[in-house]
Amino acid sequence: MSRIALVGSGLASFTAYQTLRRGGLEPEEIAVFGTEADPAAQWRRRAAAIRQREMRSESDGHCLPTSFPGLAVRTALRRRSPAPLVASVLDRYHPTVDEFLAQVERLRARSGWDRSVRSARIERVRAAEGGFELDGHGVFRHVLLAPGHPGLNVPEKLRGDPRAVHAYEPHEYAPTVTVVGAGLAAATEWLNALAAGAEVVSVRRREPARRPLNVPREYFSRRGLSGFHRLGAEERAARLRTLLAPSYPPGRAFDEPLARAAHEGRFRVEDAVNGTRQVICATGFRRGFRHDPLLESLVAEHALETAGDWIVLAPDATVAALTDGTRTLALAGVPAQWAFPAADTLAGAKYVAHAFLRKVEACPTR
């Protein structure tokens, strides 16, 4: 009988599953609740919508439980070339989307993932004797909640505008396009629309940060996280708001085509949406537990501590008030940013997964 439940069947849950399997658990011991068996289904659709070709992540941007050997090593072996390894050493290696998705398919086939998936949407998690009860599906001693992003964010002024489409929804490009937003999705859409021959207007509230990863590299290190975990609740919430501001990578891949288009009069920045024929909302996702019914009800029913948009978590991403030596409740993916600012990355998924496995292994009754 399963005593471990993963709620959500996306990439964060999939990474946790791979880590649990490497820790010696069998597929029958792990129940995965989700609406899609393909762990990359949501991500695949969004990447296709913005025509994404490369990952922002680096060599360790995969769902394997260990970072090494990463995708750079595997690509170098397959191509019989050291070039991916050299690029990785210089922090310039980025696997292609196709390479990443192929790796997901291989892991899915060999890990027994499909044997663990149960087609169900969990809407309520309640603390119970011996663990946590999940919507009538039973009581599980160790539960990892990985519900994903709580929906696409569309600015209120553009809701109902017939010109508007979200960047993560399927779309083509009109002759004149306004892109609202300033993160990686927005920057990718600038290039996509320009390549399609459009005249592009960028509307943004602030200038984006230019950095390779979605948060500064220091927050992927033990030292950086140690300082982050020492922050008080208000200061940590403020730090997260700063860290999660829009950004996209520096370099010629973006700068040169944008400079050329600006010189040609085909790209410019404006303060507000104008009269272009199409408006693309590259504004990401709704933010905060209040936009997720599962997390909102969890907080309300168990009077959990919160700060701003986040549920307050222990450094290992567990809900401290509901976790002890006999049971575990942890969050993964974007809801776990309180413990790991880049929790919605594959590196963040590994961080949470290993912490969750340690809790499972330390439990005397498992």
pLDDT tens readout for residues 30-71: 999 999 999 999 999 999 999 998 876 654 666 787 765 656
Percent of the chain with pLDDT over 90: 81
Q: How confident is the model at residue 273 (pLDDT cuts 50, 70, 90)?
A: very high
Say yes or no to pLDDT of 28 above 90. Answer: yes
- Is 223's pLDDT higher than 50? yes
Handedness of CA 312, 151, 353, 227 (dihedral sign): negative
pLDDT value of residue 74: 60
The pLDDT, as a whole number, for residue 67 is: 63
Dist. CA 174–CA 227, nearest whole Å: 47
Two domains, one topology: 4-151+286-362 and 156-208+246-281? yes
CB 8 within 8 Å of CB 42: no
What is the chain's mean pLDDT, rounded? 92
Beta-carbon contacts of 24 under 8 Å, excluding residues fewer than 6 positions away, are none
% of the chain surpassing 70 pLDDT = 90
Q: Is the pLDDT of residue 355 over 50?
A: yes
Structure-token match 């696409």, residue found: 152
Q: What is the pLDDT of residue 83?
A: 63
At the second CATH level, the architecture of 156-208+246-281 is: 3-Layer(bba) Sandwich (3.50)
- Least confident residue range of 93-97, 107-111, 232-236, 243-247: 93-97
190 or 88, greater pLDDT: 190
What ranges do the domains of the chain cover?
A: 4-151+286-362, 156-208+246-281
Buried b (16+ CB within 10 A) or exposed e, 56-85: bbbbbbbbbbeeeebbbebbbeeeeeeebb
Check: CB of residue 317 under 8 Å from CB of residue 352. yes
Helix (H, G, I), strand (E, B) or coil at 17: helix
CB 211 within 8 A of CB 247: yes
Q: Is the pLDDT of residue 243 over 70?
A: yes
Distances (CA, A) of 351 to 12, 169, 184, 279, 337: 10, 30, 23, 37, 11
* 4-151+286-362: CATH, from 3.40.980.10, 3.50.50.60, 3.10.310.70, 2.30.40.10: 3.50.50.60
Report whether 55 contacts 94 (CB < 8 A). Answer: yes
The mean pLDDT value for 357-363 works out to: 95
- Whether residue 204 is predicted with pLDDT greater than 70 in this model: the reply is yes
Helix (H) / strand (E) containing 260? helix 252-263
Task: State the Cα–Cα distance between residues 99 and 79, nearest whole angstrom.
Answer: 12
123-172 pLDDT tens trace: 999 999 989 999 989 999 999 999 999 999 999 999 999 999 999 999 99
